[in-house]
Structure 1
Amino acid sequence: MDLLKSAPLRFLLLLTSSWLVIFLLTRSVLLITHLDEAGSHFLPLFGIGVLYDLGFLAYAALPLGLYLLLCPPGLWRRKGHRWFLQGLLCVSLFAMLFTAVAEWLFWDEFGVRFNFIAVDYLVYSDEVLNNLLESYPIGTLLSILAVLAIALSLALRKLFNAALDAPLPALRGRLVGALGLALLAGASLQLLSQDSPRAQGGNAYQNELASNGPYQFFAAFRNNELDYPQFYRSLPAPIVARQLRDELSEPNARFIGNDPLDIRRVIDNPGTLRKANIILVTIESFSAKYMGSNGDERNLTPNLDALRKQSLYFNNFYATGTRTDRGLEAITLAIPPTPGRSIVKRVGRESGFASLGQQLSAIGYDSVFVYGGRGYFDNMNAFFGGNGYRVVDQSSVEESQIHFKNAWGMADEDLYQQTLKLADADYEKQQPFLLQLMTTSNHRPYTYPDDRIDIKSGKGRDGAVKYTDYAIGQFLEAARQKPWFDNTIFVFVADHTAGSAGKEDLPITNYQIPLFIYGPKLIEARETAQLASQIDLAPTLLGLLNLDYQSTFFGRNLLQDNPLPPRVVVGNYQHLGLFDGQDLAILSPRQGLRRHDQALGDSRESQAEASDPLVTRAITYYQAASYGFKQQLLGWKPAPKASVEISVR
């Protein structure tokens, strides 16, 4: 008897074919709604997509296929087992329809199919589930999907009956079929990966559409960290060491490490140490494009537009990544985005670094990470607690002091009220402070207290942006009445932009964020077009304090005259880039090297060689950062007491 015509495999083919059709429809809908971004010549993506679809089905169908083939004939012929398989078909259709809708929502948020971000969302299910419940009519949506699944299973009733009425194979045939399924799954494991057979470079939307969301989701469990030497192009250590000196040799820096790739150096900032307070506000998902002073006509940011004129404002400033943990990593550790997970989320390896907070705690500052949400999210508590900070988050605040909260945390105005209390307490103790904040209000579901602004809560990003601006205005107005205000530096910077997806793997314009450094008694107000990155913020702040210290920062003091070549580093979970203000070099897995000339304009993509000076610079930053992390060269080493005493005179 032909094994493929047997009841178990006919039922398995019915189920997997249904899944395959849903995958095709999902890809088609995503393509149709993004035709402008996907461009032309997109038909091949369906062929590549089928390979990914079949690869996922080879995994997903294996357990069920083994059960069907090894099910005893007596159990198979029972009426109850037939109803069980009918229910299984219906449930599987519901699961695939739910996955298709989830992919649509994920694509709307990030512009990609599932990746390790989706895995993180599963880990932090409480926040994510509450966010979904507050953002979408989940009950109605699930009901519609359930009705569709039942309707589809009934529509397939004839094929279902025909499959189950087919003859059962002999034991030998069933064993051969089980072995074949196992071999097929094994072959899929060996032949497919997250980045192949998709091409390196090209249209990023097409590359994402060609993949399979569920496949990407499960692959992310295995590939949430990527070993740099294994996946990316490296250069000989002497070449990287020379280039590192060219990138990091500020006039007041002296390298002291023995390893050629050790960037540890002594920074001798001129002038007398001034222990000014620092309040560093990291704003959730705030793109520079929302500001009225940048041309937006919706009047969403009147307070920040006014603050721009009163601050040292950087109008050519870039985030290193696309997620909050990447922004916090860059701002706190001044390190480029190493591939895969950020250091913040590398559980067990997230502490002991020479962070901004650690540097200031060593000279008597109260370094506090103040978060509007719950600090276990994204491993923030462990990261900041292990790197020189004490942590104050939503769980540290009495419910009576929280006037509004949503899935992600308390409203920004409540966060700022807690900040004022912390600053007051430190002032009473005559202790300088670093209060490093992370806001939450500018995030889906975009809800905030009523009667604050003229846009109703929960109506979209515009309202969240305007409320974010409102809360900042109220905070600064209250801070100006405090006795510690004149000796305080206020920093407002975004963790990342509101949307970083584009036709390219690293659309550089979508990484631009604002940076305000405000201190009327301490800093001259002016605007600068200097090309700068989040990794430059920590050394710039320590430079403002005239602090001498041992640095493991890849960033540089933006206020110091030096001949260092301009650059920013940007990345996502796979692709790593270096932008010099005009052109962009991109490093990709499987040793991929590309460059985009005129990256802010027509962005002409071409393949590149490691000898290309721009590519060499990119490799240097990422190879050295990954090496330093792996070899524990970026750890905190307190300076001898005598040297600290000399530095504060």
Structure 2
Amino acid sequence: MEQRELTAKDKTRLTEMGIDEPKAKIAKIKPQYDRVVLLILESMHRDYINYYNHDIPEEATPFLNSLVIRYPHMNRYYSSAVPTTQGLNATFRSHLIMDKDLPGKNTPSLFRSAQAAGMRGIFMNASSQYYANELREYPTQFGMNEYYAKEYLEKQGYTGASGWGFHNDVMYEETLKLLEKAKAKNDRLVMVTKTLDMHQPYPYTGFSWNEMPDNVRSNQFITVRGVYWVDKTLEHFFKEAQKRGLMDDRTLFIITSDHNPHSGGEYTKLVTKAEDKQSIAPIPLIFVSKNLAPLNNLRTNEYASQIDLAPTLLYLLGIDVPEKFMGRNLLQPTDIPYALGYFGGKAFYWSDERHLVDQMDKPVPDTEYEDALTNYIIHYYGLWHQ
């Protein structure tokens, strides 16, 4: 597949899909928040929350249920890429295809834009900094100035890491401490905490058998017990944030996922709808703050995907959105909202009008829409590295 200029026919089909080329420039507003904290869960499907899927026991996710009911959220928010690094690329750089062999130093990102505006950019990972050379790769590709991982947490005195790394309780406690220090110094920041406890094939739970509700501990799926741990650790995190004075008008918390679970195993049994268990699938997106007015224009039931989060956050922070971002600001109306994803040479597209799974290397595309979508993705991939 080679990059080429989009044809008039491509642009017509893309417009019919809601994909405008070029994108309208987003007007800046005054900063609505001083601190944005993203809690990025590992392999968390939207339908692991009982609110969306009643095959998950209600006792497994009561706190997540309460957040969805109380706070702004997106019901049809899709991952844009799989696995973790690619999902983070979509989240931080509003782009679909990541090639680690290509230089990322000068590419736009959520972190680079926030830091250029005087904010701190913090990323904390539960796993080792040496896994996949992330200590070098992530700051180079994504641009965060502060990168912390398992080794940093060990120096802070935390113990109990197992499997992939440290567990949710440790990650959330250190997040609270970093946030307390930042608020005391009036630091503005974008902070990301990436957890691991839902990692496939089987998640972790920090509770004994007797500590879990019967409907959770006796469930045939281990994933249900893992989701219960996720729910309880999030509940503790937000109770502590409230107690420590961190739930204020100038702080926005976001709960989401790095990507949907990989196909296979318990995932395909717990999620029953065929369209929701493809390689690209719905994940949670919940905004939590004492100040919800800036999110009044969020349209809960519109299609959206990971590439839309960075433009939305930069808008809320009063920062210009890079022109090379592929996503849109979720707080501005659009005629045809859509979700867009890429995995394994396939492009995934959802809107109210149509759903496409586009095998991008087909010699002859099945439809003009698939041809235009392939050309659009390759075109933007080429522009990204110019």
CA contact 1:315–1:527 (8 Å) conserved in 2: no
Q: What SS does the aligned partner of 1:556 have?
A: coil
Q: What SS does the aligned partner of 1:360 have?
A: helix
Alignment-mate amino acid for residue 203 of structure 2: Y
Which residue of 181, 189, 194 corresponds with 1:438? 194
Q: Which residue of 2 aligns with 1:362?
A: 116
Q: Against the structure 1 CA distance between its residues 461 and 350, is the aligned structure 2 distance closer, same or farther, given a 3 Å change threshold?
A: farther
Q: Which residue of 2 aligns with 1:377?
A: 131
Q: Against the structure 1 CA distance between its residues 320 and 590, is the aligned structure 2 distance closer, same or farther, given a 3 Å change threshold?
A: same
Q: Which residue of 2 aligns with 1:627?
A: 382
Which residue of 38, 50, 59 corresponds with 1:292? 50
Q: Return the alpha-carbon distance in structure 2 between the equivalents of residues 239 and 376 of structure 1.
A: 47
Residue 279 of structure 1 deviates from its aligned partner by 0.5
Q: TM-score, normalised by structure 1?
A: 0.51
CA contact 2:6–2:376 (8 Å) conserved in 1: no
Residue 236 of structure 1 deviates from its aligned partner by 4.4
Q: Against the structure 1 CA distance between its residues 289 and 549, is the aligned structure 2 distance closer, same or farther, given a 3 Å change threshold?
A: closer
Alignment-mate amino acid for residue 373 of structure 2: A
Q: Return the alpha-carbon distance in structure 2 between the equivalents of residues 512 and 474 of structure 1.
A: 25
Q: What SS does the aligned partner of 1:440 have?
A: coil
Q: Which residue of 2 aligns with 1:392?
A: 148
Q: Return the alpha-carbon distance in structure 2 between the equivalents of residues 248 and 379 of structure 1.
A: 37
Q: TM-score, normalised by structure 2?
A: 0.83
Q: Against the structure 1 CA distance between its residues 410 and 235, is the aligned structure 2 distance closer, same or farther, given a 3 Å change threshold?
A: same
Q: Which residue of 1 aligns with 2:184?
A: 428
Pairing 1:512–2:274 present: no
Residue 356 of structure 1 deviates from its aligned partner by 0.5
Q: What SS does the aligned partner of 1:436 have?
A: strand
Q: Against the structure 1 CA distance between its residues 249 and 481, is the aligned structure 2 distance closer, same or farther, given a 3 Å change threshold?
A: farther
Q: Return the alpha-carbon distance in structure 2 between the equivalents of residues 250 and 574 of structure 1.
A: 24
Q: Against the structure 1 CA distance between its residues 298 and 489, is the aligned structure 2 distance closer, same or farther, given a 3 Å change threshold?
A: same
CA contact 2:121–2:189 (8 Å) conserved in 1: yes
CA contact 2:33–2:252 (8 Å) conserved in 1: no
Pairing 1:491–2:254 present: yes
Query: Deviation per CA, 1:453-498, whole angstroms, max 9, x where unpaired?
Result: 44669x8222111101111111111111233421111111112222
Alignment-mate amino acid for residue 394 of structure 1: K
Residue 250 of structure 1 deviates from its aligned partner by 8.5
5 Å-filtered alignment, 1:120-199, equals: none
CA contact 2:207–2:229 (8 Å) conserved in 1: no
Q: Which residue of 2 aligns with 1:183?
A: none
Query: Deviation per CA, 1:364-415, whole angstroms, max 9, x where unpaired?
Result: 1111111111133244333331233110111111267434322211011100
Q: Which residue of 1 aligns with 2:312?
A: 540
Which residue of 57, 66, 73 corresponds with 1:306? 66
Q: Return the alpha-carbon distance in structure 1 between the equivalents of residues 48 and 40 of structure 2.
A: 16
Query: Deviation per CA, 1:131-153, whole angstroms, max 9, x where unpaired?
Result: xxxxxxxxxxxxxxxxxxxxxxx
Q: Which residue of 2 aligns with 1:408?
A: 164
Q: Against the structure 1 CA distance between its residues 446 and 361, is the aligned structure 2 distance closer, same or farther, given a 3 Å change threshold?
A: same
Q: Against the structure 1 CA distance between its residues 592 and 468, is the aligned structure 2 distance closer, same or farther, given a 3 Å change threshold?
A: farther
Residue 424 of structure 1 deviates from its aligned partner by 1.4
Residue 249 of structure 1 deviates from its aligned partner by 6.0
Q: Against the structure 1 CA distance between its residues 295 and 347, is the aligned structure 2 distance closer, same or farther, given a 3 Å change threshold?
A: same
Q: What SS does the aligned partner of 2:19 have?
A: helix
Q: Return the alpha-carbon distance in structure 2 between the equivalents of residues 468 and 592 of structure 1.
A: 45
Query: Deviation per CA, 1:229-268, whole angstroms, max 9, x where unpaired?
Result: 2xxxx66444488467873469851xxxxxxxxxxxxx42
Q: Return the alpha-carbon distance in structure 2 between the equivalents of residues 275 and 530 of structure 1.
A: 24
Query: Deviation per CA, 1:5-61, whole angstroms, max 9, x where unpaired?
Result: xxxxxxxxxxxxxxxxxxxxxxxxxxxxxxxxxxxxxxxxxxxxxxxxxxxxxxxxx
Q: Against the structure 1 CA distance between its residues 252 and 235, is the aligned structure 2 distance closer, same or farther, given a 3 Å change threshold?
A: closer
Pairing 1:327–2:84 present: no
Q: Which residue of 2 aligns with 1:279?
A: 37
Alignment-mate amino acid for residue 329 of structure 2: N
CA contact 2:4–2:379 (8 Å) conserved in 1: no
Q: Return the alpha-carbon distance in structure 2 between the equivalents of residues 447 and 497 of structure 1.
A: 17
Residue 513 of structure 1 deviates from its aligned partner by 1.3
Alignment-mate amino acid for residue 513 of structure 1: I
Q: Return the alpha-carbon distance in structure 1 between the equivalents of residues 170 and 359 of structure 2.
A: 42
Q: What SS does the aligned partner of 2:292 have?
A: coil
Pairing 1:315–2:75 present: yes
Q: Return the alpha-carbon distance in structure 1 between the equivalents of residues 319 and 33 of structure 2.
A: 9
Alignment-mate amino acid for residue 567 of structure 1: Y
Q: What SS does the aligned partner of 1:560 have?
A: coil
Alignment-mate amino acid for residue 301 of structure 1: T
Query: Deviation per CA, 1:106-159, whole angstroms, max 9, x where unpaired?
Result: xxxxxxxxxxxxxxxxxxxxxxxxxxxxxxxxxxxxxxxxxxxxxxxxxxxxxx
CA contact 2:358–2:374 (8 Å) conserved in 1: no
User: May I ask how many residue pairs the two structures share in their alignment?
Assistant: 358
Pairing 1:531–2:303 present: yes
Q: Which residue of 1 aligns with 2:339?
A: 568
Q: Return the alpha-carbon distance in structure 2 between the equivalents of residues 528 and 556 of structure 1.
A: 15
Q: Return the alpha-carbon distance in structure 1 between the equivalents of residues 222 and 127 of structure 2.
A: 20
Q: Against the structure 1 CA distance between its residues 592 and 374, is the aligned structure 2 distance closer, same or farther, given a 3 Å change threshold?
A: farther
Q: Which residue of 2 aligns with 1:589?
A: 361
Q: Answer with 538-547 or 485-494: which moved more.
A: 538-547
Q: Which residue of 1 aligns with 2:271?
A: none
Alignment-mate amino acid for residue 577 of structure 1: F
CA contact 1:577–1:618 (8 Å) conserved in 2: no
Q: What SS does the aligned partner of 1:514 have?
A: coil
Residue 535 of structure 1 deviates from its aligned partner by 0.4
Which fold has the larger relative contact order, with Cα–Cα distance below 8 Å and residues 6 or more apart in sequence?
A: 2
Q: Which residue of 2 aligns with 1:131?
A: none
Q: Return the alpha-carbon distance in structure 2 between the equivalents of residues 416 and 317 of structure 1.
A: 24
Q: Which residue of 2 aligns with 1:559?
A: 331
Q: Against the structure 1 CA distance between its residues 280 and 382, is the aligned structure 2 distance closer, same or farther, given a 3 Å change threshold?
A: same
Q: Return the alpha-carbon distance in structure 2 between the equivalents of residues 248 and 291 of structure 1.
A: 33
Q: Return the alpha-carbon distance in structure 1 between the equivalents of residues 260 and 322 of structure 2.
A: 31
Give the share of equivalent positions with the same residue, in percent: 21
Alignment-mate amino acid for residue 498 of structure 1: P
Q: What SS does the aligned partner of 2:331 have?
A: coil
- Computing the radius of gyration from Cα coordinates, the structure with the larger value is 1
CA contact 2:5–2:379 (8 Å) conserved in 1: no
If each structure's helix is expressed as a fraction of its own residues, which one has the higher value? 1
- Unaligned runs of 5+ residues in structure 1 are 1-227, 254-266, 594-607, 634-649
CA contact 1:325–1:378 (8 Å) conserved in 2: no
Alignment-mate amino acid for residue 62 of structure 2: P
Residue 547 of structure 1 deviates from its aligned partner by 2.5
